[in-house]
């Protein structure tokens, strides 16, 4: 019988499948379609200290084998996430959830993580230092080893929960940033967030999205993600959560062979809301096809 269980930063998961932040809301929207408890966990919508309306519209541009988004971290702020979103989430999801946190200063990150530290259902804090869609925050912390390490230390000082730092691919050397986070105390890293992309409307001769540029995701970026996961996983001793263009059970296995302990599914959820569920269901078939009895045995063996 296929063994799908993995352990991420000390927390056992029924399987490695995690819908990615920004592609799964706060869970209860998808719970109207299927029982989301079939998932390993999910990373809820990026949360900031204060409410954010997000970027001006239009925010989405279609691409060949992908999409560009510049939503801009629209969320109600951590206080309302705790008072309104988490109680609704708890009614439909009965496992530890991953809280995705963004900020515009080191103090912002620490404040939001300290608030979420007190929430029993939050299992992991995924600290996003890699959002390419906002000005003056997010990716500005993820392009420097020193800045990423500073955020890591500040968050680790206010929580006992596992801290996973979400890294940007929009850098020359992602390995040095991952190692800096590890040395600063990170319990894990997740990668890759979106690549920076752009589309121009040939009729208007203007950028398609109001923000001009945004995060490029979808199956087109999968080979880049596999390469970066492989590089980072072989350079650090902490767990890696792999993501970027994952759309099938075979993609999950490939990510895990590269070194991922768990695998996030992002843009595929926006194309097919059942994508993550279908991948969980299909994993035993794919494992049998490739002679794999336990997923935890294949992590990083490529």
Residue 182 near residue 237 (C-beta atoms within 8 A): yes
Q: Could you tell me if residue 118 is inside a domain? A: yes
Give the H/E segment covering residue 224: helix 222-233
For residue 183, report the phi and psi dihedrals to the nearest 5 degrees: -65, -30
Q: What is the pLDDT of residue 68?
A: 94
Residue 221 near residue 245 (C-beta atoms within 8 A): yes
Query: Rounded to the nearest 5 degrees, what angle is found at the Cα of 161, between the Cα atoms of 160 and 167?
Result: 120
Give the Cα separation of 297 and 181 in Å (integer).
Answer: 26
Give the Cα separation of 97 and 103 in Å (integer).
Answer: 20
Q: Could you tell me if residue 273 is inside a domain? A: yes
Residue 174 near residue 181 (C-beta atoms within 8 A): no
Residue matched to tokens 């050397």: 173
* Cross-strand pairs, 274: none
* Cross-strand pairs, 214: 197
How much is the mean pLDDT over the chain?
A: 94
Closest CA to 37 of 256, 250, 276, 244: 276
The number of folded domains in the chain is 1
Q: What is the pLDDT of residue 136?
A: 47
> Does the pTM exceed 0.85?
yes
Q: Could you tell me if residue 283 is inside a domain? A: yes
Q: Could you tell me if residue 260 is inside a domain? A: yes
Residue tagged active-site, from 9, 23, 113, 131: 131
240-242/262-265 β-pairing: parallel
Token readout for 81 is 């996430």
Token readout for 74 is 């629209």
The segments of the chain whose pLDDT lies below 50 read 132-138
Domain containing 16 equals 6-298
DSSP secondary structure string for all residues of 122-140: EEEEEEE---TTSSSSTHH
Q: Could you tell me if residue 67 is inside a domain? A: yes
Q: What is the pLDDT of residue 278?
A: 98
Q: What is the pLDDT of residue 281?
A: 98
Q: Could you tell me if residue 1 is inside a domain? A: no
Query: Rounded to the nearest 5 degrees, what angle is found at the Cα of 151, between the Cα atoms of 238 and 242?
Result: 40
131 is catalytic: yes
Count Cβ atoms within 10 A of the Cβ of residue 227 and give its class: 0-12 exposed, 13-18 middle, 19 or more buried.
Answer: middle
Cβ-proximal residues to 138 (8 Å cutoff; 6+ apart), any chain:
73, 102, 103, 104, 128, 129, 130, 131, 132
CATH classification at residue 241: 3.20.20.70
Cβ-proximal residues to 120 (8 Å cutoff; 6+ apart), any chain:
none
pLDDT digits (tens, 9 = 90+) for 247-265: 999 999 999 999 999 999 9
């Amino acid at each position: 019988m296929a063994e799908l269980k993995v352990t991420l930063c000390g927390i056992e998961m029924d399987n490695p499948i995690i819908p990615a932040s920004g592609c799964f809301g706060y869970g209860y929207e998808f719970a109207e379609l299927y029982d989301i408890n079939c998932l390993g966990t999910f990373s809820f919508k990026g949360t900031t200290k204060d409410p954010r309306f997000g970027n001006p519209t239009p925010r989405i541009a279609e691409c060949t084998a992908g999409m560009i988004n510049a939503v801009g971290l629209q969320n109600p702020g951590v206080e309302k996430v705790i008072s309104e979103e988490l109680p609704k989430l708890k009614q439909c999801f009965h496992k530890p959830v991953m809280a995705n946190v963004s900020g515009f200063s080191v103090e912002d990150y620490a404040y939001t993580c300290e608030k979420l530290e007190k929430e029993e259902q939050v299992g992991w804090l995924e600290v996003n230092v890699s959002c390419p869609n906002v000005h003056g925050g997010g990716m500005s912390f993820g392009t420097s080893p020193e800045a990423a390490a500073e955020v890591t230390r500040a968050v680790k000082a206010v929580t006992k929960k596992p801290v996973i730092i979400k890294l940007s691919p929009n850098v020359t050397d992602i390995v040095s940033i991952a190692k800096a986070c590890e040395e600063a105390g990170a319990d894990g890293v997740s990668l890759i967030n979106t690549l920076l992309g752009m589309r121009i409307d040939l009729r208007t001769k203007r950028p398609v999205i109001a923000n001009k540029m945004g995060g490029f995701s979808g199956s087109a970026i999968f080979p880049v993600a596999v390469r970066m996961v492989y590089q980072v996983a072989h350079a650090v001793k902490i767990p890696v959560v792999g993501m970027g263009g994952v759309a099938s059970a075979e993609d999950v296995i490939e990510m895990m062979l590269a070194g991922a302990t768990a695998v996030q599914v992002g843009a595929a959820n926006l194309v097919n809301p059942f994508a993550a569920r279908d991948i969980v269901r299909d994993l035993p078939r794919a494992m049998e096809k490739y002679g794999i009895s336990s997923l935890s045995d294949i992590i990083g063996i490529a």
